[in-house]
């Protein structure tokens, strides 16, 4: 199985949670990793784990809401690790606020990080993937884009935007050798979820048919599949590891 062996992956928000787990699993599969995050210390910790697995890693501080910063990072990554084959656009924030209290800044910041951040990353890596005639663009939507969520109107709207962007890009790139897919995680046990009150986490867990939170690795393995050579016929898909949360009766 070719998997992701010898590939170079660029991951955003890789200093924590799902991004960190994905960096590890990709490295276990033989990929080198550009570990980026707004939090450099977190990125450096992940990069250390990647090198301990025997792969190359480059830790960079990147704020995905800043197009120039993303472009600078992808250029530096290309010089130090080689052309980027796999993009995992994962950086995110989970700020909760009721719509009535939501400021324009709250709304704009959510879109800047999630939807604009994904657009910036796609835009920065695409030219080289087109030249190579091979690439994997993987974005991070959310189950919430399809189920909704209280105090999460801005988050769900931005994540629905990412789903639309992903499917549209998949259509546009269908004959290019580049696949475009998203993961739409259910509720996963990461620092983002743990910042919510314990009662909220307990109540959310009760709504999941499997009655447990997902682990970051549950998403990481889905991403590694989408990134693999073997997933070459998968495009325009939104894969949702969610413990059965879309089922109504169980
Ligand atoms: P996490 O542990 O908080 O990791 C997210 C990382 O992104 C953090 O290191 C965070 O840094 C970083 N980040 C925030 N803003 C950034 C920016 N502007 N530029 C670059 N990096 C930035 O959360 P996670 O749960 O792993 O989330 C990963 C992705 O999965 C997010 O897109 C999230 O919306 C999505 N998701 C998560 C769940 C879930 O249940 N956990 C469900 C559905 C979707 P700071 O910590 O410094 O902010």
In a domain, 245, yes or no: no
Secondary structure percentages of the chain, helix, strand, coil, to 5? 50, 15, 35
Catalytic residue among 119, 155, 225, 246: 155
pLDDT digits (tens, 9 = 90+) for 163-210: 999 999 999 999 999 999 999 999 999 999 999 999 999 999 999 999
CATH at 130: 3.40.50.720
In a domain, 207, yes or no: yes
In a domain, 99, yes or no: yes
In a domain, 166, yes or no: yes
Q: Is 246 among the catalytic positions? A: no
- Check: CB of residue 18 under 8 Å from CB of residue 220: yes
Given a cut of 50, the residues of the chain with pLDDT beneath it are none
pLDDT at 250: 80
pLDDT at 1: 85
> Which atom of ligand 1 approaches the CA of 43 most closely?
9
In a domain, 249, yes or no: no
- Check: CB of residue 62 under 8 Å from CB of residue 39: no
In a domain, 140, yes or no: yes
- Check: CB of residue 72 under 8 Å from CB of residue 82: no
In a domain, 248, yes or no: no
Domain containing 213: what range?
Answer: 2-239
Describe the strand order of the beta sheet including 8-11 as a list of residue ranges: 57-61, 32-37, 8-11, 86-88, 135-140, 178-183, 238-239
User: Three-state SS for 176?
Assistant: coil
pLDDT at 176: 98
pLDDT at 155: 98
In a domain, 246, yes or no: no
Rounded distance from Cα 231 to ligand 1 centre (Å): 25
pTM: 0.99
**Residues with a CB atom less than 6 Å from ligand 1:** 12-13, 15-19, 37-39, 42, 62-65, 90-94, 113, 140, 142, 185, 187-188, 190-193
Question: How many structural domains does the chain have?
Answer: 1
pLDDT at 162: 99
């Amino acid at each position: 199985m070719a998997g992701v062996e010898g590939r170079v992956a660029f991951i955003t928000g890789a200093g924590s949670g799902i991004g960190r787990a994905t960096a590890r699993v990709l490295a276990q599969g033989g990929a080198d990793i550009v570990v980026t995050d707004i939090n450099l210390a977190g990125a450096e910790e992940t990069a250390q784990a990647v090198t301990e697995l025997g792969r190359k890693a480059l830790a960079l501080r990147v704020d995905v809401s800043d197009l120039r910063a993303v472009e600078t990072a992808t250029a530096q990554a290309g010089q130090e690790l080689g052309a980027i084959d796999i993009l995992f656009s994962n950086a995110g924030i989970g700020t909760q606020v009721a719509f009535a209290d939501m400021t324009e800044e709250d709304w704009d910041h959510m879109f800047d990080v999630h939807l604009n951040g994904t657009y910036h990353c796609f835009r920065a890596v695409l030219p080289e993937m087109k030249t190579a005639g091979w690439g994997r663009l993987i974005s991070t939507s959310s189950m919430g884009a399809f189920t909704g969520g209280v105090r999460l109107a801005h988050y769900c709207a931005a994540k629905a935007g990412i789903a639309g962007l992903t499917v549209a890009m998949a259509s546009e790139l269908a004959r290019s050798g580049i696949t475009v897919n998203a993961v739409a995680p259910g509720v996963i046990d990461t620092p983002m979820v743990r910042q919510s009150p314990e009662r909220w986490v307990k109540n959310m867990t009760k709504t999941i048919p499997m009655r447990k939170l997902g682990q970051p690795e549950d998403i990481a393995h889905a991403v590694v599949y989408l990134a693999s050579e073997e997933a070459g016929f998968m495009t325009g898909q939104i894969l949702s590891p969610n413990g059965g949360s879309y089922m109504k009766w169980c």
